Amino acid sequence: MKTHYYLGWFNDFFPENLGRVLQEDITDRKSLAMISSNPFLYEEEGATERSWLDQAGILFDDYHLINYHVQKEDAQAFILNASAIFLLGGDTLKQNEFLLDYELSDLIKKSRAVVMGASAGAINMSAKWLCSKNFGYPVENSALYDGIGLDNFSVLSHFDLENNMELVQDELTALSEEINIYASNKDCAVRVKGGNIDILGNVYLMSHTKIQKLDETL
């Protein structure tokens, strides 16, 4: 049963109920593959995301940070052998390009590992997403990008949604006619497990131009 976590951003640590279900879902803890969102950097990435897991008591034997300083074949092997995969937060566009360059998307889709993504990582896990300057991207013209497509919906994650509801609806109206969009800000999560969708925090569903706040189920 495949399990995917679309996370916002957590200022402190995972809420207790999120930590609990992650503990239950991640039973194999041999290795964690972390996919960079700034893949040209030498600096260590993922310390914040790893601290969330550490605090929840989810520790792995091995940790692999995947970026351009790792050979492509090695990166693919880390994904193939991972117990869990974490797409890190940061630069959505750079991470998207890196996934294409290293041909990681299909490997992630086929993996039986638990897949998590925070902010940019959650966006790139989705089927497609809108790149717009109104969402903070350094572009003049809006464009749709394909994500990994773990589930057939779009994600807008870690965006100041509550104060920009009209903007969000205007920007995403066309896409919402095509697929559902899950929109959230901080301290939120959408878990997809065996076709069931669970909600943590303030998460909104936009479908066919209508937007509604979802009840928490975690």
pTM of the model: 0.96
C-beta contacts of 162-170 below 8 A and 24+ residues apart: 162/202, 165/211, 167/134, 168/206, 168/211, 169/206, 169/209, 169/211
The domain segmentation of the chain, as residue ranges, is 3-213
- If 0-12 CB within 10 Å is exposed, 13-18 middle and 19+ buried, where does residue 173 land? middle
CA distances (Å), origin 86, targets 24, 48, 116, 203, 209: 17, 12, 5, 21, 31
Half-sphere exposure of 22 (CA within 13 A, CB side): 29
Quick: pLDDT tens for 40-95. Answer: 986 677 999 999 999 999 999 999 999 999 999 999 999 999 999 999 999 999 99
What is the Cα–Cα distance from 111 to 106, expressed in whole angstroms?
A: 9
Q: Which CATH number fits domain 3-213: 3.40.50.880, 3.40.50.300, 3.40.50.2000, 3.40.47.10?
A: 3.40.50.880
Residues 77-104 as b or e (16 or more Cβ within 10 Å = b): ebbeebbbbbbbbbbbebbbebbeebeb
Give the model's pLDDT for residue 218. Answer: 87
The answer, yes or no, to whether residue 172 has pLDDT greater than 90, is yes
Quick: pLDDT tens for 19-29. Answer: 999 999 999 99
- When pLDDT is cut at 50, 70 and 90, the band that residue 130 belongs to is very high
